[in-house]
Amino acid sequence: MSTMNARTTPLRSALALLLASGLLLTSEARSSAAGPERMVFDQAGSLGDLVRSIKEDAADAARRSAPPVGEAKSAAPIVVTVPGLEESKIAIGGISYDDLADRWKKLFPGRPVDEEELHAQLAEMQAVKRMRASGIGAPPAPDDYVATSVGEFARNEGIAVEIVNLAWSRDPEDSDRTADAFAQRLLALRDSPETRGRALYIAAHSWGSVLIYEALMRLQQKGQIIDVEGLTTLGSPLVPSRLWVRAYKDMCDRKYHLQRSIVKPQGVRRWTNLWAALDPFSNALPAAGKNDRVDLPAVPYERRLLALLAFHRKDAIEDLAALRDSGKWHFSYLLGYKATLRTLHTEVSWDIPQMCAPDVLLASPAPLSHPYHSP
């Protein structure tokens, strides 16, 4: 990977990565307007306790809802995958300093407004906005990019699952009706003779996590509870850490009638949230049973680069920009993360999908490890 220059905005290399993903993240199945896309991955081996756990989930689910005698039924657990917004369809303009100051006063009553922090957040937002307006980049990631990542792990590790990808327009303007459509698809999975009683897992990235959460809560408010063995949210903006993202989320909540307070849906057995401090659209979610921060391995490198800034090293500034590439971190849960740090004479590489996939498939209560490679 080439070193980013000092003028490179945070999303440049992520958009280049999306170009690669448009070529590499392909599958035989394609989006269908008639209903959810399905991909089945057959079991070819054993992962010891991990695989036995998912087999037991499937067997228990099958016993709870046994089919009539003589009728075949698949015991493979179902993993529902939900992609996020298309980059080109996110309208983040129109948020002013006063908007951020208003958010600050509501979040921190009685605490003086930190003008330096607000201006820094405005600068970050404007950098993202300029990148999108420049037209530099690539076609958006395909609608099945979450399904492909989960499916590759299942296939490589020999875990039998059926993936149901909830393809949608990926346009925030469709949030309200998409949440309703997702609710109907979840009901169909719960009630259909083909899928009834099978263990259900959900993996949702970015704005997709907002919409699947909305679907679950709308059903709950109508007395319709969906049993979910494991919900995994990846880079979720349900409770944004950045004020400018929170201002955008608040606007969407009002405009598209979305949930304002976030609680654990009643039918969800385990909720795992994967986030990164370097991903401005994500945050830890208090309602989740487990929050795993995936960018912790980057912290020692960030500290070393910050120390080098005291010596006015221009290459350290460039490397820090590469390490803090927010767009790459937002997709790191599915595409992994790499950065060349010339100042430190090393390339860092973290296989985050490999770390995350067991949680997606099993919602395992075991803590997330942080393996990384630094040649």
CATH label of the domain that carries residue 197: 3.40.50
- The CA-atom distances, in angstroms, between 167 and each of 40, 294, 313, 351 are 16, 26, 46, 26
Domain count, the chain: 1
* Block residue for tokens 């945070």: 10
In a domain, 49, yes or no: yes
In a domain, 19, yes or no: no
Q: Are 184 and 212 in contact (CB under 8 A)?
A: no
Class of residue 296 by CB neighbours under 10 A (exposed 0-12, middle 13-18, buried 19+): middle
Is residue 247 predicted with pLDDT exceeding 90? no
Q: Which of 22-31, 42-51, 192-201 has the lowest mean pLDDT?
A: 22-31
CA 187 to mean position of chain CA atoms: 23
Q: Which pLDDT score, from 0 to 100, does residue 88 have?
A: 56
Torsion on CA atoms 238, 185, 31, 364, rounded to nearest 10: 50
CA proximity to 328, closest of 295, 290, 369, 291: 295
Bridge partners for 243 per DSSP: none
In a domain, 180, yes or no: yes
Residue range(s) defining the domain that contains residue 196: 26-294
In a domain, 351, yes or no: no
Distance, in Å, from the CA atom of 353 to the CA atom of 356, rounded to the nearest integer, reads 5
In a domain, 300, yes or no: no
Is residue 349 predicted with pLDDT exceeding 70? yes
Q: Which pLDDT score, from 0 to 100, does residue 305 have?
A: 93
In a domain, 302, yes or no: no
Q: How confident is the model at residue 128 (pLDDT cuts 50, 70, 90)?
A: low
Residue 243 phi/psi, 5-degree rounding, is -65, -35
Q: How confident is the model at residue 92 (pLDDT cuts 50, 70, 90)?
A: low
Q: What is the pLDDT of residues 248-281, one digit of tens each?
A: 888 888 888 898 889 999 999 999 999 999 998 8
In a domain, 71, yes or no: yes
In a domain, 364, yes or no: no
